[in-house]
Every structure is written in structure tokens, then in C-alpha cells.
Structure 1
Amino acid sequence: MNISLLIIGGAIGAVSRYLFGVLLMKRNKQPQFPVAMLVVNLLGSFGLGTFFSFYYGEYHSGDYSDPIYLGLVIGFFGAFTTFSTFSVESVQLFNDKKWKELIAYILISIMGAIFLFAFGFYIVNPGD
């Protein structure tokens, strides 16, 4: 059952990432840096933050026996967001000597993902 949840969540997340990326690339044919993966990773971080807040009410490390965690967090969000593609695109910017774009891409990706996870978490559950 657990593997099935991972497969279903992962398939939906991967297809969603692909379709969202295609849509963004159609609108921005010659981006200065990898806009599609940047937006997908930021959106995924926000979504993950809101999920943790809504479902758990707090941040906690994963419960691998929880089917919702397996299907949604590991499956869907794990496949929707992609650190490996971020790495490839960062190296491509480095190889192309696009220093400003590289720095902007790295900073926006990392800081933006952390900020949007926290924002998504606290907008749902502002705390005391």
C-alpha cells in the first residue's frame, strides 16, 4: 500500500511539474534564468508549508506510516519540486558565465523556498 501511495503521488507530482513547466516556458520563451523550475520549486515550498500547517498544526519530521504523508509529501511534493534540476540549471548558468543570473537563481531559489515554506505554514496557522 505504501509503495502504491508513493507511486500515485509521485506520478501526479511529476506530471504536474512537467505541465506547469511547459505552460511557463510557452509564456517566456527566452528566460534569463530557469524561470519554470524556480516557480515550481517556490510554489511547491509554499504548498508544503501550508500542508504541514493545515494537516499537522506544527512542523514535524515525517511519519512514514501516515498514508497522507507518504502520498502527498514524499510522493507529490517530492516529485513536483526538484533539487536535482535546480543543480543542473545552476551549473549551466555557471558554465555559461552568467554570474548575475546564477547568483540571483541560487539566492531566490534557496531563500525564496525557505521563506515561502514558512509563509505558507504561518498563514494557515499564525500561532499564539
Structure 2
Amino acid sequence: MNSFYIMIGGSLGAILRYLLGLFMMKKYSNPPFPLAMLVVNILGSAGLGAFYGYYYNAMPPTTAYSDSLFLTIAIGFFGAFTTFSTFSVEAMMLLQRQSYKALSIYIGLSFIGSIGFFLLFFLGAQAISF
């Protein structure tokens, strides 16, 4: 049954990532670095932080792996919505093109933005959870 929860969340997360990526590519057809995946990864980190902060009011315990909501949202949805593998491919493409400035901005914003927004939304959700 756990695999079913992950499958449902993962399906929805992957579809939403795809649609948001298409929207971003249409809106910004030639950005200086991979803007669509940057936005997806930062939004996903913020969402996961909010989920953890609100639902658990802390980082989830190891027992969360038997919780259907954790499996569906944290592992399934946000696991499929965000993507480190695509980030890696796009970073390597910038490196191959010798776009060092764009590569530095992309890596910096990806890491700092993802961790920063996770923390911001995690703490914000903790403050409003009861």
C-alpha cells in the first residue's frame, strides 16, 4: 500500500513539474540559465518545508515512513516535483558551453534558494501550526 501512496503523489508531482516547466519556458523563452528548474526546485523546497513545519512541527521522525500522508506528499509529490538530476544535467550543459557566470548563478541560487526557502517556509508553518 505504501508504494501506492508514493505513486499517487509522484504522478501528481511529476505532472505539475512538467506543466510548470512548460509555462516557464513559454514565458521566458531564452533565460540566461535554466530558470524553469530553478523555480520548480525552490517552490518544491518551500512546499516541503511548509509541509514538515505544519504537519510535524519539526523534521519528521523516522516513523513517518509508515505515514500515508508523508509517503504521498513528502516522498511522492515533492520527490517527483523537484529534481536534482535535471539540475545536474543543466549545470553540466552550462559548464560545457563555458557559461561560467550563468553556471555560478544557477548553482548558487539553486542551493541557497532551495535551502533558504525550505527553512523560511518550515519556520513559518511551525509558527502557524497548532
The residue number in structure 2 matching 1:83 is: 84
Identity within the alignment, %: 48
TM-superposed deviation, 1:59 = 1.2
Superposed counterparts of 1:36-75, under 5 Å: 36-62=36-62, 63-75=64-76
Output the TM-score relative to the length of structure 1: 0.96
**Given residue 31 of structure 1, which amino acid in structure 2 is its aligned partner?**
P
Count of aligned residue pairs for this structure pair: 127
TM-superposed deviation, 1:39 = 0.1
CA distance in 1, matches of 2:75, 2:61: 12
**Given residue 23 of structure 2, which amino acid in structure 1 is its aligned partner?**
L
Output the TM-score relative to the length of structure 2: 0.94
Q: Which runs of 4+ in 1 moved over 4 A?
A: none
CA distance in 2, matches of 1:17, 1:114: 19
Superposed counterparts of 1:1-128, under 5 Å: 1-62=1-62, 63-126=64-127
**Secondary structure of residue in 2 paired with 1:33:** coil
Structure 1 unaligned runs (5+)? none
Q: Which structure carries more helix by proportion?
A: 2
**Given residue 18 of structure 2, which amino acid in structure 1 is its aligned partner?**
Y
TM-superposed deviation, 1:61 = 4.6
TM-superposed deviation, 1:125 = 1.7
Q: Compared with structure 1, are the counterparts of its residues 91 and 61 closer, same or farther at alpha carbon in structure 2 (3 Å cutoff)?
A: farther
TM-superposed deviation, 1:64 = 1.1
**Given residue 24 of structure 1, which amino acid in structure 2 is its aligned partner?**
M
Structure 2 unaligned runs (5+)? none
CA distance in 2, matches of 1:92, 1:124: 36
CA distance in 1, matches of 2:4, 2:88: 29
TM-superposed deviation, 1:60 = 2.8
CA distance in 2, matches of 1:22, 1:104: 22
What is the alpha-carbon root mean square deviation over aligned residues? Answer: 1.2
CA distance in 2, matches of 1:126, 1:109: 25
CA distance in 1, matches of 2:122, 2:76: 19
